[in-house]
């Protein structure tokens, strides 16, 4: 039995994406992140992630990179600065 209703309006989908930690737009997984993790234990392809979050596929990598940067900030991890020296 799905965790979330499969038939939703666009407004309901956007609201649930913002408010419900378990909600992703994947009707085949009951719109449930938990069920999607069970279906894709080694990680879902970018195309599935894009559909689930209602974003263009190229945006998945951008979102991932921004999440990594934010986690590093929260953990106080300093990343090496790009080499800007010119000879």
Please report, for residues 25, 46, 60, the alpha-carbon distance to residue 54 in angstroms, rounded to integers and kept in the order given: 7, 12, 10
- The angle subtended at Cα 58 by Cα 34 and Cα 70, nearest 5°, is 65
pLDDT, one tens digit for every residue, the chain (87 residues): 445 555 788 899 889 989 999 998 999 999 999 999 999 999 999 999 999 888 999 999 999 999 999 999 999 987 665 555 555
- The residue extents of the domains of the chain are 10-75
Rounded to two decimals, the pTM is 0.66
């Amino acid at each position: 039995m799905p965790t979330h209703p499969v038939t939703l309006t666009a407004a309901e989908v956007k609201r649930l994406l913002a408010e419900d930690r378990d909600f992703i737009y994947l009707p085949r997984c009951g719109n449930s992140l938990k069920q999607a993790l069970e279906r894709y234990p080694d990680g879902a392809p970018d195309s599935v992630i894009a559909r689930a979050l209602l974003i263009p596929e190229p945006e998945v990598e951008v979102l991932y990179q921004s999440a990594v940067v934010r986690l590093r900030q929260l953990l106080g991890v300093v990343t090496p600065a790009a080499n800007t020296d010119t000879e």
